């Protein structure tokens, strides 16, 4: 199906879109084009209806494909630098704050759980309203600005006493979580609008545009995360500087990237009259309303949850415990194991996902997004299965640990690109609500995992009942592994059923369109 069927005003093109053939061209060619002309046309702020040149003259839909991609890349680069600083700190939380414990969990785990709790609450209660009032670009700007607070809390925590680290870390995480909730909601709305304009400019189906732009965004998002996670190893191991320098660097990068968002294309603002009539509660509850009214949405919960559970398992158990006790590995410290290389390990998933995201964007155009999402769920299940087959904390080395982090990267590649593109396809009539649901589902599962996993204990030490550092408690890691594996299986089944429902919807839309043409 061509874009003409989705966008009746789209003109026919005599040549393929210049950015549909090569990921390298997609990255470099837009940077060589002239700046886009920013028109004064006005349109509904969060209207998810398709673009048409007759209604959006002077807006993004009047740009050339290269100009559209250039604008999207600028957003992706600035967004990714800010979020890369956040995820780098997130990965270091258990390692740097793990010596302070309370109720069987270290401060890093408490901080991560607090971040994801407020991240989820923000998505459920207010993210769509904030994006509705600010617009997608300004919503991103507000989100990255608030995320700066979370990054700076690590800097402050490194300067204060142990007693004061708790309020600094937890308050910073709560504030950062609120910003993250509507940051991703705004990014989803911006992504959907850009994909619609790009599909129109190239005369291609919107599904192809979401797959392509999703791959580009994921590439920059994950590549910059790799660079910023490796930055901690560079500063502490190569340059032999203090961890204070690491957190100063992250804070500066987060701030500069927030400034960069000011130069990202801003969609013309005009709230639709019909939208203005909707009350505050209606807008605030857009995410939960979509969850209860669209039968596809509940079926997608396990696909988001498996990422949250796998990420929590990796951060709290593998990064926080297994790496610490890998004292026999080459280059390991006799006491702290491979803790000094946490930045390197946590960069592996992002590096793998960055490379795969570009490949998956091309593969999805040929195979569809379904096989890729199923493969991602299998990767998460395989990650947990490694510890099911090879239990215990003794004698872990570089090779098996790298394998585990590679599996996380394979699964994450599908989450950051293909899954988001799938949500844009499945729920195109309510993009803010759809992307708020990604936050709701993955954030809630992550928050649950970070808070609950440390309290799944056992009585007798064994290969599956291990003693954590710091608190000395025994933890049932077998239960954690089974949670990830079972959720992955449910994710595959849920997606399969949701895709069948979507196929029926497309068929009904096509039959309805054919009937209108006959009339």
Question: Is this structure's pTM higher than 0.85?
Answer: no
Q: In this predicted structure, which of 95-109, 118-132, 394-408 has the lowest mean pLDDT?
A: 95-109
Cβ neighbours for 105, distance < 8 A, ≥ 6 positions apart: 113, 451, 454, 455, 471
Residue 264: per-residue pLDDT: 86
Match 């837009």 to its residue by tokens.
Answer: 30
Residue 283: per-residue pLDDT: 56
Query: CB count, 10 Å around CB of 386?
Result: 16
> Which is more confidently placed, 139 or 162?
139
Half-sphere exposure of 95 (CA within 13 A, CB side): 27
User: What percent of the chain has pLDDT above 70?
Assistant: 78
Q: How far apart are CA 166 and CA 157, in angstroms?
A: 8
Q: In this predicted structure, which of 88-102, 315-329, 384-398, 450-464 has the lowest mean pLDDT?
A: 88-102
The highest-confidence range among 47-51, 333-337, 457-461, 513-517, by mean pLDDT, is 457-461
Between 1.20.1250.20, 3.40.50.11890, 3.40.50.1390, 3.60.20.10, what CATH number should domain 33-50+57-283+295-510 receive?
A: 1.20.1250.20
Which is nearest to 65 in space by CA: 261, 204, 266, 268?
A: 204
Q: What is the length of the chain?
A: 519
Mean pLDDT of 366-371: 85
Residue 56: per-residue pLDDT: 38
Residue 270: per-residue pLDDT: 39
Residue 53: per-residue pLDDT: 40
The highest-confidence range among 27-31, 84-88, 357-361, 513-517, by mean pLDDT, is 84-88
- Encoding tokens for residue 434? 């759809």
> Which is more confidently placed, 218 or 98?
218
Q: How far apart are CA 328 and CA 387, in angstroms?
A: 18
Task: List the chain domain ranges.
Answer: 33-50+57-283+295-510
418 neighbors 375 (Cβ within 8 angstroms) = no
- Encoding tokens for residue 318? 């593998």
Consecutive H or E run containing 466: strand 465-467
Residue 116: per-residue pLDDT: 79
Residue 430: per-residue pLDDT: 78
Q: pLDDT by residue (tens digit) across 278-317?
A: 555 655 566 678 888 899 999 999 999 998 899 888 887 8
Confidence of residue 413 (pLDDT cuts 50, 70, 90): confident
Mean pLDDT of 261-283: 62
The highest-confidence range among 60-74, 322-336, 400-414, by mean pLDDT, is 400-414
Mean pLDDT of 386-412: 88
Residue 91: per-residue pLDDT: 62
Q: Tell me the pLDDT of the chain averaged across its residues.
A: 77
> Which is more confidently placed, 138 or 154?
138
Confidence of residue 351 (pLDDT cuts 50, 70, 90): confident
């Amino acid at each position: 199906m061509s874009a003409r069927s989705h966008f009746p005003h789209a003109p026919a093109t005599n040549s393929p879109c210049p950015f549909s053939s090569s990921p390298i061209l997609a990255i470099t060619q837009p940077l060589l084009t002239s700046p886009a002309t920013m028109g004064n046309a006005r349109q509904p702020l969060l209207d998810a209806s398709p673009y048409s040149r007759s209604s959006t003259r002077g807006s993004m839909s009047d740009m050339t494909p290269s100009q559209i991609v250039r604008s999207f890349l600028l957003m992706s680069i600035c967004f990714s630098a800010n979020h890369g600083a956040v995820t780098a700190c997130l990965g270091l939380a258990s390692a740097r704050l793990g010596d302070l414990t309370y109720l069987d969990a270290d401060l890093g785990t408490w901080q991560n759980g607090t971040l994801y709790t407020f991240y989820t609450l923000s998505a459920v209660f207010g993210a769509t309203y904030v994006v509705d009032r600010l617009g997608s670009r300004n919503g991103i700007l507000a989100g990255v600005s608030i995320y700066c607070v979370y990054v700076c809390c690590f800097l402050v925590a490194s300067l204060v006493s142990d007693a004061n680290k708790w309020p600094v870390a937890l308050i910073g995480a709560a504030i950062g979580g609120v910003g993250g909730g509507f940051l991703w909601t705004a990014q989803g709305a911006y992504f959907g609008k850009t994909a619609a304009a790009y599909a129109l400019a190239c005369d291609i189906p919107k599904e192809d545009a979401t797959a392509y732009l999703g791959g580009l965004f994921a590439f920059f998002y994950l590549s910059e995360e790799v660079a910023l996670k490796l930055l901690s190893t560079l500063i502490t191991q190569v340059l032999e500087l203090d961890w204070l320098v690491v957190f100063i660097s992250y804070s500066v990068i987060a701030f500069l990237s927030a400034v960069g968002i000011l130069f990202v294309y801003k969609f013309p603002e005009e709230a639709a009259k019909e939208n203005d009539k909707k009350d505050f509660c209606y807008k605030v509850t857009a995410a939960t309303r979509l969850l209860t009214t669209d039968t596809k949405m509940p079926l997608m919960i396990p696909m988001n949850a498996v990422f949250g559970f796998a990420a929590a398992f990796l951060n709290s158990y593998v990064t926080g415990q297994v790496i610490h006790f890998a004292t026999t590995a080459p280059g390991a410290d006799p006491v702290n194991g491979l803790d000094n290389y946490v930045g390197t390990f946590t960069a592996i998933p992002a590096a793998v996902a960055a490379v795969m995201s570009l490949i998956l964007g091309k593969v999805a155009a040929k195979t569809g997004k379904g096989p890729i999402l199923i493969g991602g769920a299998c990767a998460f299940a395989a990650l947990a299965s490694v510890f099911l087959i090879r239990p215990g904390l003794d004698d872990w080395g570089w090779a098996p640990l790298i394998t585990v982090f590679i599996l996380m990267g394979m699964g994450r590649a599908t989450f950051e690109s293909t899954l988001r593109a799938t949500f844009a396809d499945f729920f195109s009539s309510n993009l803010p609500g759809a992307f708020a649901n990604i936050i709701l589902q993955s954030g809630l599962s992550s928050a649950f995992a970070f808070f609950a996993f440390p309290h799944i204990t056992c009585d007798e030490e064994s290969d599956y009942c291990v003693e954590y550092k710091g608190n000395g408690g025994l933890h049932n890691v077998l239960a954690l592994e089974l949670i990830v594996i079972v959720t992955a299986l449910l994710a595959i089944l849920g997606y399969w059923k949701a895709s069948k429902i979507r196929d029926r919807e497309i068929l009904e839309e096509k039959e309805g369109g054919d009937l209108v043409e006959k009339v």
